[in-house]
């Protein structure tokens, strides 16, 4: 995608589509991986070099996105999947949010995140965590996620800089607050 096409999409941010958010069907996993790869290659190229993008793609596995304890929502427009989001309900991690580059800046990522956050609230998850790509930090910040620190994910041969972010959905008790502080500190100090 040429950069001026990308800018034109940004300018049309108020253009809302009639997008349906629903749960993923098991047979759609391959389509989601294709969407993820295309989105990473196009959207993340502004913040990561080709070697880092290849490392990100090599690091991604089906077990991380669709493993035990995960729930995945898809955004569908005119019977075509144009985005998806995945929540791991065991680790309370947002594993993925991807929107097809032709549909960014139209509120689809936000709708996908709201579906995940509602599911988290239904499960009484109090706090969500995400390792945000450099490209997505402002997106998560706009949704109320707080910066916790810079981290580097270990790729196949490359370190991939990203940002640890969290969002408090429900109040924590004193013990949970202490644990959250310790975990946040430890996560910002280790290299994954």
The Cβ of residue 181 has, within 10 Å, a number of other Cβ atoms equal to: 11
Residue 66 confidence (pLDDT): 82
Residue 155 confidence (pLDDT): 59
The Cβ of residue 41 has, within 10 Å, a number of other Cβ atoms equal to: 17
pLDDT confidence bin for 184, thresholds 50/70/90: confident
Q: Does residue 11 register a pLDDT over 70?
A: no
Q: CA angle 167-56-5, nearest 5°?
A: 85
pLDDT confidence bin for 152, thresholds 50/70/90: confident
Kindly write down the DSSP assignment for every residue of 58-111, as one continuous string.
HH--HHHHHSTTEEEEEEEETTEEEEEEEEETTTTEEEEEEE-GGGTTSSHHHH
Per-residue pLDDT averaged across 59-70, rounded? 73
Question: Domain count of the chain?
Answer: 1
The model's pLDDT over 17-48, given as tens digits with 9 standing for 90+, comes to 789 999 999 999 999 999 999 999 999 999 99
Q: Copy the structure tokens of residue 77.
A: 């427009």
End-to-end CA distance of the chain: 31
Q: Does residue 156 register a pLDDT over 70?
A: no
pLDDT confidence bin for 187, thresholds 50/70/90: low
CATH number at residue 119: 3.40.630.30
Question: What is the residue-averaged pLDDT of the chain?
Answer: 85
Q: Does residue 190 register a pLDDT over 70?
A: no
Nearest to 57 by CA among 44, 40, 45: 40
Q: Which residues pair with 31 in a beta bridge?
A: none
As a whole number of angstroms, the distance between CA 168 and CA 172 comes to: 8
Q: Using only C-alpha atoms, what is the Rg of the chain?
A: 16
Q: Does residue 8 register a pLDDT over 50?
A: no
The model's pLDDT over 88-121, given as tens digits with 9 standing for 90+, comes to 999 999 999 999 999 999 999 999 999 999 999 9
Domain that holds residue 146: 3-189
């Amino acid at each position: 995608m040429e950069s001026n096409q990308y800018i034109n999409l940004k300018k049309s941010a108020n253009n809302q589509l009639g997008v349906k958010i629903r749960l993923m069907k098991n047979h759609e996993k391959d389509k989601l991986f294709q969407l993820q790869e295309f989105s990473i290659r196009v959207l993340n190229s502004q913040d990561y070099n080709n070697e880092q993008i290849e490392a990100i793609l090599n690091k991604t596995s089906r077990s991380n996105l669709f493993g035990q304890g995960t729930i995945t929502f898809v955004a569908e427009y005119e019977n075509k999947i144009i985005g998806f989001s995945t929540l791991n309900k065991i680790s309370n991690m947002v594993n993925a949010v991807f929107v097809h580059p032709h549909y960014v800046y139209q509120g689809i990522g936000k709708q996908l995140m709201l579906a995940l956050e509602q599911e988290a609230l239904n499960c009484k998850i109090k706090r969500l965590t995400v390792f945000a790509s450099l490209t997505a930090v402002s997106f998560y910040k706009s949704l109320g996620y707080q910066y916790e620190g810079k981290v580097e994910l270990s790729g196949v041969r490359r370190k991939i800089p990203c940002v640890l972010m969290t969002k408090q959905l429900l109040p924590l008790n004193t013990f949970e607050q202490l644990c959250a502080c310790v975990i946040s500190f430890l996560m910002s100090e280790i290299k994954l």
